[in-house]
Amino acid sequence: IFGVNSAGSIFQKWQTSPGGQWSPWSQIEGGLSSIAAEANADGRLQIFGVNSAGSIFQKWQTSPGGQWSPWSQIEGSLRP
C-alpha cells in the first residue's frame, strides 16, 4: 500500500508474508501530492507521482522486493 499525507510525505506498508500480517508504515524519502504504483512484469514495483508544482517523478525497485532507486523526473507536467 502506498499513500501520501496532507504534508506530501510518502508512506508504504506491505504484507510480511502471503495472507500474513502487515508491516508498520515506512516513510519513503521525497514529497509528492499524489502517487500511483504498479508492478512490472518481473515483479519490481514502480511508483509514479506528481508534486504540488505539477512535476512528474518515478522511482522503482532495483530488484523484486529490493531497494528503491533514486527519484527520476519525467519530462512534462500535469495540472489538475
Q: Phi and psi for 66 in degrees, rounded to 5?
A: -95, -160
Q: What is the per-residue pLDDT across 34-66, written as a single tens digit (0 to 9) for each?
A: 999 999 999 999 999 999 899 999 999 999 989
| Mean pLDDT over each residue of the chain, to the nearest integer | 93
| pLDDT at residue 79 greater than cutoff 90 | no
Full-model pTM? 0.84
State which amino acid sits at residue 32: L
Q: How far apart, in Å, are the Cα atoms of 18 and each of 7, 15, 30, 41, 46?
A: 32, 7, 29, 19, 20
Q: Above 70 in pLDDT, residue 76?
A: yes
